[in-house]
Amino acid sequence: MEEQAYQQEASPEVRKRITESFERQGLMRHLGARLAHIAPGRVHIVLAGRPEVTQQHGYIHAGATSAIADNAGGYAALTLFPADADVLTVEYKINLLAPAVGDHIEAVGTVLKSGRTLTVCRLEVYGVQGGKRTLVATGQQTLICLS
């Protein structure tokens, strides 16, 4: 998909479907994650850096980083699925490139290939400190469309 397509917002119907699904996720609520951007084939999720989501060295925990990356990709895929469909992750791999530090982290899920049954997404997570973004994790994910 072209970068220009990611600048647009998803339709109100898609935004509502994504938001309602996201709000049903206990883990995202527990972590304090929030949807920051919903576009066709692209979703951003933000997680504030606070003591409750850190590990023993003060970095944002890899589990929290991975969870919001997984969700960003899943919801990016869902933006392109039929209105009556749902999504489940089949597999994902994430590489942790640097300690996740900052005011917050931002996961970006981007659809690489949307298929009738399987969809593949790129996952990126950035540490954001004072407006400066640093890539802290990258990965790839395969999802299944449930109708």
Total domains present in the chain: 1
pLDDT(1) > 50? no
Q: Are 41 and 5 in contact (CB under 8 A)?
A: yes
Of residues 131 and 100, more confidence is placed in 100
Quickly list H helices, the chain.
3-7, 12-23, 26-31, 62-78
Report pTM: 0.93
pLDDT, position 36? 96
pLDDT(3) > 70? no
pLDDT(6) > 70? no
CA dist 91 and 120 (Å) reads 10
Instruction: Give residue-wise pLDDT tens across range 68-106.
Output: 999 999 999 999 999 999 999 999 999 999 999 999 999
DSSP 84: T
- 108-135 mean pLDDT: 96
Sheet arrangement for strand 86-96: 34-39, 42-48, 104-114, 118-129, 132-146, 86-96
User: Residue 101 is part of which domain span?
Assistant: 3-146
pLDDT(7) > 90? no
CATH code of 72's domain: 3.10.129.10
